[in-house]
Amino acid sequence: MNELDALVDSARDAFARAGTPADLENAKAQYLGKSGQITELMKGMGALSVEEKKTRGAAINQAKQSIEAALTARRQALADAELQSQLKA
């Protein structure tokens, strides 16, 4: 499952580079949006056998959860940074 690990790492990097909430939402769309990479992987599961769907689906869901966790953490970090800058002002 190197492909999924690489996808999760790529998402984490993109989220870390996002300097504003808008940048973060744009990065999120690349992975979790309507035509995002995770969504495209899920669409491709129709051609798989039942057994392949189970294992591949579980792996994709795990990757999706990891990406969502990274997204939530980055959102919180950006919100904390904004709060700190407001408190200093």
Per-residue pLDDT of the chain (89 residues; tens, 9 = 90+): 589 999 999 999 999 999 999 999 999 999 999 999 999 999 999 889 999 999 999 999 999 999 999 999 999 999 999 898 888 87
Domain ranges of the chain: 2-88
Can you give the pTM of this predicted structure? Answer: 0.89
d(CA 9, CA 6): 5
pLDDT of residue 1: 53
Biggest CA-to-CA distance, the chain? 59
pLDDT of residue 71: 97
pLDDT of residue 85: 87
Q: In angstroms, what is the C-alpha Rg of the chain? A: 16
Using alpha carbons, select from 56, 46, 44 the residue that is nearest to residue 1.
56
CA 8, 77, 17 angle in degrees (round to 5)?
50
